[in-house]
């Protein structure tokens, strides 16, 4: 069954057309592991999600499930992001969705920041080989997500030559990114090839991704704090915005190494960084409240 065939089993409002029954599906985890299972329906609503050898989600009274998000894999299609909302099955992206320039640039902006902020530490005693290993470990920009939604036709203003150059670089990058597993680092050769293509893309796209003066100040203030990050922090990124009270905020994503991060202590570190970042921002004259989000490099690379 393809993703499109699966989506056609549901009405526009997410009710199961066959009303009662179940569908065999394959669940995908963030680390891209796949688990077979079933999704059960009653009266058109999803009432149970069953993963072989894993969880089984249902309410004791078999009432419709709510607030569940799933990634489903069909053949070799891209994983289908699916939400269960009061028993209705909703698809967060249509399989045939058109790529948008805005979305691509948003993805690439994050990748560009990650490309610029590898945490390679350090004490200056690393040799060239060790330094490259650290750069590779930090290269969480090397994921297909970084160029997702790219469509060369949406950049006619570049002119045919630059447009072709961009398209070629994206293709070279994509080819490498598709080969790098979400839960393992790239090889030396993959890293070098991807970095070369990425540098071309970054230079061509620079005019689309200008950095406002305030963001530059924020970045500099964060970089100061970043110097004191422990060695298991492999990268960081930030985003200016407002919080739920509409107050000026900066969202700081700190990426931890999957294998060496002390998970039980992440909370303590997050609080400590919040205080240091707030102080650093204040010194820089920036009145934004910092919100620190910790995630692992693998979690970032596995984002659907």
Q: Which strands form 233-242's sheet, in the order they lie side by side? A: 233-242, 248-256, 289-296
Element (H, E) at 115: helix 101-116
Contact region for other proteins (CB under 8 A) — 61-69, 99-107, 133-141, 199-207? 61-69
Q: How far is the CB of 228 from other proteins (least distance, A)?
A: 15
* 55 belongs to the binding site for other proteins (CB under 8 A): yes
Smallest distance from other proteins to CB 183, Å: 10
Counted residue by residue, the chain has a size of 304
Applying CB under 8 A, which of residues 12, 61, 67, 75 lies at the interface with other proteins? 67
**Closer Cβ to other proteins, 216 or 293, answer by number:** 293
Report the alpha-carbon distance of residue 99 to residue 106 in Å, rounded: 12
Part in contact with other proteins (CB under 8 A); list of ranges 188-196, 199-207, 216-224, 257-265: 257-265
Contact 51, 34 (CB under 8 A): no
Assess 97 for contact with other proteins (CB under 8 A).
Answer: no
On whether the CB atoms of residues 200 and 169 are closer than 8 A, the answer is: yes
| Site size for other proteins (CB under 8 A) | 45
| CA-based nearest residue to 135, from 188, 177, 95 | 188
Rounded distance, CA 39 to CA 113, Å? 39
Q: In the bound complex, what is the minimum distance in angstroms from residue 258's beta carbon to other proteins?
A: 9
- Residues binding other proteins (CB under 8 A): 27-31, 33, 35, 51, 54-55, 57, 67-71, 83, 243-245, 249, 256, 261, 263-271, 274-275, 278-279, 289, 291-296, 299, 303
């Amino acid at each position: 069954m393809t993703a499109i065939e699966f989506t056609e089993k549901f009405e526009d409002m997410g009710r199961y057309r066959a009303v009662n029954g179940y569908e065999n599906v394959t669940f995908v985890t963030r680390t891209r592991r796949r688990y077979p299972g079933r999704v059960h329906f009653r009266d058109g609503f999803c009432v149970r999600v069953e993963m072989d050898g894993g969880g089984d989600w249902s309410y004791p009274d078999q009432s419709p499930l709510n607030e569940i998000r799933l990634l489903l894999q069909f053949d070799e299609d891209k994983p289908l992001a699916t939400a269960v909302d009061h028993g209705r099955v909703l698809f967060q992206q249509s399989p045939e969705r058109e790529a948008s320039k805005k979305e691509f640039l948003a993805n690439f902006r994050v990748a560009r920041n990650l490309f610029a902020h590898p945490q390679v530490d350090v004490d200056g005693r690393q040799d060239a080989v060790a330094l490259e290993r650290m750069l590779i470990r930090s290269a969480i920009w090397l994921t297909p997500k970084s160029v997702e939604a790219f469509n060369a036709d949406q950049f006619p203003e570049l002119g045919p030559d630059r447009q072709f150059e961009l398209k070629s670089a994206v293709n070279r990058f994509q080819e490498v990114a598709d080969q790098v597993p979400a839960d393992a680092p790239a090889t030396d050769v993959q890293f070098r090839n991807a970095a070369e293509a990425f540098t071309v893309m970054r230079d061509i796209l620079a005019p689309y991704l200008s950095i406002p003066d305030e963001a530059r100040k924020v970045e500099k203030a964060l970089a100061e704090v970043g110097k004191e990050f422990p060695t298991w922090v492999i990268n960081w990124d930030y985003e200016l915005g407002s919080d739920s009270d509409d107050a000026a905020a900066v969202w700081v994503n700190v990426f931890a190494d999957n294998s060496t991060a002390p998970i039980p202590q992440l909370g303590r570190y997050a609080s400590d960084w919040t205080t240091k970042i707030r102080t650093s921002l204040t010194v820089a004259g920036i009145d934004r409240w910092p919100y620190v989000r910790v995630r692992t490099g693998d979690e970032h690379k596995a984002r659907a």
